[in-house]
């Protein structure tokens, strides 16, 4: 007769071994390809590419799946092409396990304007508070990205792409919001978030 505790312990061991294998698989992919743009720890220094450290595994998985299917367009389409579902899930788990780093904000006074918009929106132009969806700490959710600590330049590019409909996924709400933001508001919010 199999004892319940022994059986549960064996299941835990198998699950732990599988998870370690998945993370090893992800680490191999990161070492071969991803590190060039995103860094080994998901904390790249190139402002054109997003920081992935601490991003939700579910969000990363969705974005890679969207790139692979062509729902989201960009450089990542060809990178995601050769990934299977297990690779994508492993990469999501890998980058979500990496701790995001704090970064120095440039132009703190200007970033304070961005903080106000992030937390309160702009009632005169109809821009909703970013915090109402992305959270008070900009940590995101399984379906919305972590924005805290993201490169300001990357955030500016994404907001502009939402506005011009160049961003082809996750766009219904963000297109409406981005179209109401001024250039200065976009820059201010991006500076604020980059320093969180």
- pTM for the model stands at 0.86
Rounded Cα distance between 153 and 178, Å, is: 15
Counted residue by residue, the chain has a size of: 196
Question: How many Å from the N-terminal Cα to the C-terminal Cα in the chain?
Answer: 55
Residue 21 has a pLDDT of 54
Q: Taking 80 as the threshold, does the pLDDT of residue 148 lie above it?
A: yes
Query: Closest Cα to residue 163, out of 141, 181, 146, 145?
Result: 181
166: left (phi over 0), alpha (psi -120 to 50) or beta: alpha
**pLDDT recorded at residue 171:** 79
Rounded Cα distance, 164 and 131, in Å: 23
- All structural domains of the chain, each given as residue ranges with its CATH number in brackets, are 4-96 (1.10.760.10), 108-194 (1.10.760.10)
Task: Summarize pLDDT for 3-51 with one digit per residue, the tens.
Answer: 555 544 444 443 454 465 588 999 999 999 999 999 999 999 899 999 9
The answer on pLDDT for 137 being more than 80 is yes
The half-sphere exposure of 82 on its side-chain side, counting CA atoms within 13 A, is: 6
């Amino acid at each position: 007769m199999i004892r319940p505790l022994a059986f549960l312990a064996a299941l835990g061991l198998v699950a732990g071994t599988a998870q370690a294998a998945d993370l090893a698989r992800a680490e191999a992919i990161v070492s071969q390809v991803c590190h060039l743009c995103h860094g080994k720890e998901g904390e790249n220094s190139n402002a054109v590419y997003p920081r992935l450290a601490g991003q939700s595994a579910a969000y990363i998985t969705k974005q890679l799946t969207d790139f692979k299917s062509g729902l989201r367009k960009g450089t990542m389409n060809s990178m995601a092409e050769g990934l299977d579902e297990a690779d994508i899930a492993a990469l999501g788990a890998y980058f979500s396990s990496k701790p995001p780093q704090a970064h120095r904000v440039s132009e703190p006074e200007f970033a304070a304007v961005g903080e106000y918009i992030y937390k309160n929106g702009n009632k005169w132009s109809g821009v909703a508070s970013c915090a109402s969806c992305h959270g008070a700490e900009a940590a995101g959710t399984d379906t919305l990205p972590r924005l805290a600590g993201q490169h300001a330049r990357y955030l500016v590019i994404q907001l502009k792409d939402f506005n011009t409909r160049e961003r082809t996924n996750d766009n219904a709400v963000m297109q409406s919001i981005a179209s109401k933001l001024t250039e200065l508001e976009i820059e201010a919010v991006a500076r604020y978030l980059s320093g969180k």
